[in-house]
Amino acid sequence: MAVFSLADFDGHEKVVFGNDLESGLKSIIAVHNTNLGPALGGCRMYPYFSEEDAVKDVLRLSRGMTYKSALAGLPMGGGKSVIIGNPATGKSEALFRAMGRFVNSLSGQYVMAQDSGTSVADLQAAAKETSYVAGVEETVDDQGNIRDGNPSPATAFGVFVSIQAAVRHQLGRASMRGLKVAIQGVGKVGFALAQHLHGAGAHLLVSDVNEKNLIQARDRLQATVVDNDTICKVEADVFAPCAMGGAINDISINQLRTSIVAGAANNQLATPQMADALRERGILYAPDYVINAGGIIHIHYMRNQLGWEASTQHVRRIGDTLQEIFARADAENSTTAAVADLMAEERFMPNGVFLASDETIGVGVGAPQLMSNGR
Ligand code: NAD
């Protein structure tokens, strides 16, 4: 299987394979870039169809984290890990402790957080073996409530302030009252986003594959429930993809009847060309990794005990970054996606080069295999 030549390899500093026979752990940690600091990123557990799929996924996600943290103004690099396995049936304390030892073997170069398929409880098991785990601490919020490490509320708040910025830029409106927002997926982030929008007077149209989530949005937020096949065709001001990646694709691009796309889902554009297609249609795109950075910002603040208030203020500044992206895209006649990438690269590769050291050491759990490109 080719790795160095994969499109998403893109200068990764290190890719390490962990194999623990006793617990059955099969994991990959990818560290894309540490110019700005240790690589912070989630650990995803998923029953990948093939090892190749797992490698491609971890590389793509890890690279994305470098861009996300850089544009969020965090002193963090980009990395990610995957565990090959079914989160519904394959979890055990031993598995996550082995994962903790695997993470620990990188001596802090990678800091593990939560992602799809993993929970705070899983991270707590890993944290018995390593201190390089983020998002496990209980904290007290501004209202004095005890909160677990779940980053979703912060992610949702960041998307909310981003929608405000996009609406100001595209529609010249300061108020959200009467705004129509179509949300695809009202899970942890989508529902919290819906609560903010509802509180600000917006009207919501929602779709989900989980009926319980739909009923909650309908009964608590007076949302109009829409069929999953219809959500990207409804007439509204904003389309907010908050479920899976690839919501903007060859089919949906011609169906959209909103003037803004701004949501929490990662990798919303099925192909990079979708950014141009949105622009040609006059639809303003708020780049996904810019506006969904609230969670990673919050995790960084909690891990370093910088406080809830400061974290919230930092998340709020995502709106300012977005305004800068919009203005630059207009001035440079470019897509917002291209401008966001450029601005991130200006931060983590200020001289147009990767700055990381020449380290080439990789360590696995049990019977280690290593790969590294040693930049
Ligand atoms: P979640 O699993 O809690 O919610 C996703 C929701 O989408 C669920 O309710 C699910 O039933 C629904 N869904 C799945 N497939 C669907 C489909 N085809 N059509 C409509 N609905 C569908 O996940 P989440 O934590 O809310 O994350 C949502 C998205 O935001 C994901 O893409 C995630 O990667 C991204 N994201 C989340 C965070 C975070 O802090 N949780 C941070 C950054 C990015």
Span from the CA of 116 to the centroid of ligand 1 (angstroms): 9
Ligand 1 pocket, residues with Cβ under 6 angstroms: 151-152, 155, 184-190, 207-210, 213, 228, 242-244, 264-266, 292, 295
Give the CATH number of the domain where residue 31 resides.
3.40.50.10860
- Whether residue 72 is contained in a domain is answered as no
Q: Which of 5-14, 144-153, 198-207 has the lowest mean pLDDT?
A: 144-153
pLDDT of residue 23: 98
pLDDT of residue 353: 54
In this structure, the answer to whether residues 294 and 355 fall within a common structural domain is: yes
In this structure, the answer to whether residues 130 and 154 fall within a common structural domain is: no
In this structure, the answer to whether residues 323 and 211 fall within a common structural domain is: yes
| pLDDT above 50 for 232 | yes
pLDDT of residue 142: 78
In this structure, the answer to whether residues 58 and 157 fall within a common structural domain is: no
Mean pLDDT score, 206-210: 96
In this structure, the answer to whether residues 291 and 209 fall within a common structural domain is: yes
In this structure, the answer to whether residues 227 and 345 fall within a common structural domain is: yes
pLDDT of residue 271: 94
Cα–Cα distance for residue pair 354/24, rounded to 1 Å = 35
Give the pLDDT band of residue 370 (cuts 50, 70, 90): very low
Mean pLDDT score, 209-233: 96
Active site residues: 80
In this structure, the answer to whether residues 212 and 130 fall within a common structural domain is: no
Per-residue burial over 202-241, b = 16 or more CB atoms within 10 Å of its CB, e = otherwise: bbbbbbbeeeebbebbeeebebebbeeeebbbbebbbbbb
In this structure, the answer to whether residues 235 and 86 fall within a common structural domain is: no
H-assigned helices in the chain? 51-71, 93-104, 120-126, 152-171, 188-199, 211-221, 273-280, 288-291, 294-303, 308-316, 318-332, 336-348
H-assigned helices in 80-210? 93-104, 120-126, 152-171, 188-199
Closest atom of ligand 1 to CA, residue 189: 26
pLDDT of residue 118: 93
What single letter denotes the amino acid at residue 351?
A: N
Give the pLDDT band of residue 375 (cuts 50, 70, 90): very low
Mean pLDDT score, 286-293: 97
- Whether residue 71 is contained in a domain is answered as no
- Whether residue 3 is contained in a domain is answered as no
Of all residues in the chain, the percent with pLDDT exceeding 70 is 93
Instruction: Give nearest CA residue, ligand 1 atom 32.
Output: 265
Instruction: Give nearest CA residue, ligand 1 atom 40.
Output: 152
In this structure, the answer to whether residues 156 and 291 fall within a common structural domain is: yes
pLDDT in tens, 237-270: 999 999 988 999 999 999 999 999 999 999 999 9
pLDDT of residue 374: 28
Split into its structural domains, the chain has a count of 2
pLDDT of residue 306: 92
Of all residues in the chain, the percent with pLDDT exceeding 90 is 83
| pLDDT above 80 for 228 | yes
Span from the CA of 356 to the centroid of ligand 1 (angstroms): 33
Mean pLDDT score, 14-41: 97
Backbone angles phi, psi at 64, to 5 degrees: -60, -35
pLDDT of residue 79: 97
What single letter denotes the amino acid at residue 310?
A: A
pLDDT of residue 369: 29
- Whether residue 271 is contained in a domain is answered as yes
Q: Does residue 268 contact residue 261 with C-beta atoms inside 8 Å?
A: yes
Boundaries of domain holding 207: 150-361+369-375
User: What token pair was written down for 133?
Assistant: 């785990």
Which of 136, 162, 180 delimits the end of a domain? 136
pLDDT in tens, 321-368: 999 999 999 999 999 999 999 999 999 986 765 544 433 323 333 322
In this structure, the answer to whether residues 196 and 57 fall within a common structural domain is: no
